[in-house]
Amino acid sequence: MIFVVIGGASGSGKTGLSQHLLTKLKQAGTSAQILNMDDYYREIPVGVDIAEFRKKTNFDTPDMLHLDLLKQHIVALHEGLSITKPIFDFKTNKRIGEETVHPSDVIILEGIFAQYFYKHYWSSELPVVTANVATDNYLDIIERRIKRDMKERERKREESTAQEQKNVGPGFLKYTASSSMGADVFVINENRDGADGQNLILDAAADEIIVEVEQKLAAQQVGSLEDKKPSPNAQELIAKSHLIAGTLFQPRRFEGHFSGVFGDFKGKYVREFSVREAEEITAPFKP
């Protein structure tokens, strides 16, 4: 058995990638299942009004999930035991049932805090491939998430927008982006027109993960592990994303405060783009 941990921002395409990976694995005769971290969210307290709960609660922190329970389930699956996991409904913020998950050749764990969970809760003896899904334009993620929340979670646009500004964006930088360094596979989920274009990206990413899985399993059999691939510069990726999105506080300048989470980097990260750099980076996204 091997685990595939897929993390990334809310709305980045983690679930789509997980489904593509699951389909490809099953087509190849490999048993696989998905564990969605969203099902481990904590329920709304009894007697609390749901509108007030959503308004006052920050869902974009790992403290909102039962991560200890998730760790127990991960270990149990690795030991060959079946688990009974909760099923969480975001429309009601309650559990609506349970589901039995059996051990498989590959267990796919996906969620916005998947990389955070891996770095803080993972047992070293558990074989794993880690993947992070990002985008070349953070505005794409915001719009995807808002549309998803409106359709699947019965949220209003203004409610989702306010949540993005107050909790989702800061939570992404603090927990999700900060945990992406060192992933085995780094996927840039570009915004493509139509389902076919998006499927091409996700198919290619799923193929890359499968290759990584095969290499990890082969390395285990011979008792050696290859050195990790060089990680992308996460600060630079975030700075470019904000430049493209047009969210810089000053023209061609990005400032981000990071607390020892991007490798050895700690403190204020400042990136100033020249006029030429800015034009080259933003040119593909201009109408």
pLDDT digits (tens, 9 = 90+) for 194-217: 566 677 888 888 999 999 898 888
Residue 154 Rama label (left phi>0; alpha psi -120 to 50; beta)? left
Hey, which CATH number is domain 2-229, 1.20.1440.230, 3.40.630.30, 3.40.50.300, 3.30.1540.20? 3.40.50.300
Reported confidence tier of residue 71, pLDDT bands at 50, 70, 90 = very high
CB atoms closer than 10 angstroms to residue 169 = 18
| Mean pLDDT within 245-249 | 61
Check whether 190 has a pLDDT greater than 80. Answer: no
Reported confidence tier of residue 286, pLDDT bands at 50, 70, 90 = low
**Alpha carbon distances (Å) from 27 to 4, 19, 20, 132:** 17, 12, 11, 23
Q: Look up residue 168 and give its DSSP letter.
A: I
> Could you give the CA distance from residue 268 to residue 265 in angstroms, rounded to a whole number?
9
* CA angle at 55 for the pair 50 and 58, rounded to the nearest 5°: 105
Please check whether residue 54 is in contact with residue 159, taking contact to mean a CB–CB distance below 8 angstroms: yes
Reported confidence tier of residue 261, pLDDT bands at 50, 70, 90 = very low
> Could you give the CA distance from residue 33 to residue 108 in angstroms, rounded to a whole number?
6
* Strand 106-110 to 2-8 pairing: parallel
Reported confidence tier of residue 50, pLDDT bands at 50, 70, 90 = confident
Q: What is the pLDDT of residues 72-101, one digit of tens each?
A: 999 999 999 999 999 998 888 889 999 999
Q: pLDDT value at position 49?
A: 84
Overall residue count recorded for the chain in this entry: 287
> Could you give the CA distance from residue 82 to residue 85 in angstroms, rounded to a whole number?
10
In angstroms and rounded to an integer, the radius of gyration of the C-alpha atoms of the chain is 19
| Mean pLDDT within 233-254 | 70
User: What are the boundaries of each domain within the chain?
Assistant: 2-229, 233-286
